[in-house]
Structures are given as structure tokens and as C-alpha cells.
Amino acid sequence: MNHDEIVEDANHLPGWQKHRFLLMVGGSIVIALAMVAVALKLYATSGAAQLDLSRPGYEHVSEQVVKTEVFKGFPSTGVIDQQAFDDFQTMYSKRAEQATNINSFSGDVMSDAALAIDAPVAAPAE
């Protein structure tokens, strides 16, 4: 096929087929917007929005949060030896035990104790 035959074939296409790439891009944008709308609706109705202390209006509450335990993560650099494997296994086992001790089918899954937010608030130091 030469160039003239391709142009001739393109001229015989229906209107929507001439612009199918633009239709695909537009359709993708519409689908993406619909999925974002559903995600925001789920965020608002599931209660996750109430737990998000970074939202405007919650700055005074986030200042009152007291960290009870600082998680020391596994280092990204260093020697990989038996001690490193043992340290990782210890940290992993501790977190895995905390995650599996919660009964997923009980009503207490979203309780303060299960979320580890039940620590008493300390009085501010003056």
C-alpha cells in the first residue's frame, strides 16, 4: 500500500473511527475520574477520614498525640550476615504476632486497643 491508498482508506472511515485515539484518551480520563470519585466516597463513608489527623482542622489534635513506642526499622545498608537475619526475624516476628493476635471477625477490630491508640495522654510539660 502506498501513501495515497492509505489516505483514501482513511477518508472512507466513519467520523468516530477517525478520532478513536482522542475518544480512547477521553474515555480513560472519564473512567479515572469515576474511580477517584468512588475512592473518595469510600474514604468518607468508611470512617477513614475521621482517623486522618493530617486533615485541616485536626492540627490541634495531632499535636496531642503521644508516641509510646518508636519503631526502629531495619537498616537499608550494612553487612548481611547471620546477625542481620536474626535481627530481621525478631522484628518481623514481633510485628506479625501483633497483627495476628487481633480477631478480624470481631467487633473490636477498630477499637482503640486494637489500633494501639489507647495510651493515656500525658499532661503537657510546662
Domain containing residue 27 = 1-65
- Write out pLDDT tens, residues 49-106: 776 666 666 666 666 666 666 667 777 888 888 998 898 899 889 888 877 777 777 7
37 and 81 in a single domain? The answer is: no
pLDDT digits (tens, 9 = 90+) for 112-126: 777 767 655 555 554
Find where cell 495531632 sits: 62
Run of H or E including 98: helix 82-100
Instruction: Give yes or no for a contact between 62 and 54, defined as CB atoms under 8 angstroms apart.
Output: yes
Among 124, 118, 125, 102, smallest CA distance to 68 is for: 118
Res 126: pLDDT = 47
53 lies in the same domain as 70 = no
Q: How many CA atoms lie within 13 A of 117 on its CB side?
A: 10
CA distance 52 to 63: 13
Encoded amino acid at 11, one letter = N
Residues 118 and 85 in one domain: yes
Are residues 20 and 73 part of one domain? Answer: no
Domain count, the chain: 2
Same domain, 71 and 51: no
> Are both 60 and 2 inside the same structural domain?
yes
Between 18 and 90, the more confident residue is 90
58 and 78 within one domain: no
Instruction: Please check the confidence at residue 27 and state whether its pLDDT lies above 90.
Output: yes
Based on the fold, state whether residues 8 and 60 are members of the same structural domain.
Answer: yes
